[in-house]
Amino acid sequence: MSRVLVALALFGVVALAAASGDAQKEWTGKSWLGKWQSLPTDKSENWEAFVNALAIPEQYTRDLQKTVHTFYKQGDHYHHIFAIPDKNFEKNIEFNLGAESSAKHGEHEVKIKYAEDGDKLVADVRIAAKNKHIHDVYEVQGEELVKTYKVGDVVAKRWFKKIAQ
């Protein structure tokens, strides 16, 4: 009986700690905050041209993958969690609006600067080793998040639906 009580007490402490960690996440104040998943129809425009502009090698998948973008604020920082569940890939990028941050992607270091343009979130991504610059714009249109990608003169889009706040 005492083991059960100890286990329940520990579970309660763990649950409380997890809940308090989630409570510190802010999900309101910006239209783009939330968890967004690519549409089941994989609605996109000009995807193949975008992949070609990035010069993704043929041996890597160039197909659209179910993708999840999660944006939230915690304290003075924002977080952008980019995930491709079917590939067990997840990258958490902590950022401040207007300040450059960096992340590793494979062997490449990526520099990212997030800013706002009205209600839109804009991310300028530089991959120095590949001499690539990607300009991403996240814009909420009705019930969807539209992500516009630009590499050089190539522009592509993908649509996402909100799955959590």
- 22-59: per-residue pLDDT in tens? 558 999 899 999 999 998 777 899 988 998 898 876 65
Q: Using a pLDDT cut of 70, give the percent of the chain over it.
A: 82
User: In order of start, what are the domains of the chain with their CATH numbers?
Assistant: 26-164 (2.40.128.20)
Q: Report the distance separating Cα 159 and Cα 41, nearest Å.
A: 9
- Residue 122 is given by DSSP the state E
Average pLDDT estimate for 13-30: 61
Q: Report the distance separating Cα 66 and Cα 53, nearest Å.
A: 21
Average pLDDT, the chain: 83
- Least confidently predicted of 11-15, 51-55, 69-73: 11-15
User: Residue 119 pairs with which residues in a beta bridge?
Assistant: none
Of 126, 125, 122, 130, the closest CA to residue 148 belongs to 122
Sign of CA dihedral 128, 130, 135, 138: negative
Q: Report the distance separating Cα 93 and Cα 71, nearest Å.
A: 10
Q: Using 50, 70 and 90 to split pLDDT, how confident is the model at 62?
A: low
Q: What is the total residue count of the chain?
A: 165
Predicted local confidence at residue 133, as pLDDT: 96
Predicted local confidence at residue 59, as pLDDT: 53
Predicted local confidence at residue 7, as pLDDT: 34
Predicted local confidence at residue 138, as pLDDT: 98
**How far is C-alpha 21 from the chain's CA centre?**
20
Predicted local confidence at residue 55, as pLDDT: 83
Would you say 138 and 119 are in contact if contact means Cβ atoms under 8 Å apart? no
C-alpha radius of gyration, the chain, whole number: 19
Alpha-carbon distance values, 85 to 37, 45, 162 (Å):
10, 22, 16
Checking if the pLDDT of 93 tops 70, the result is: yes
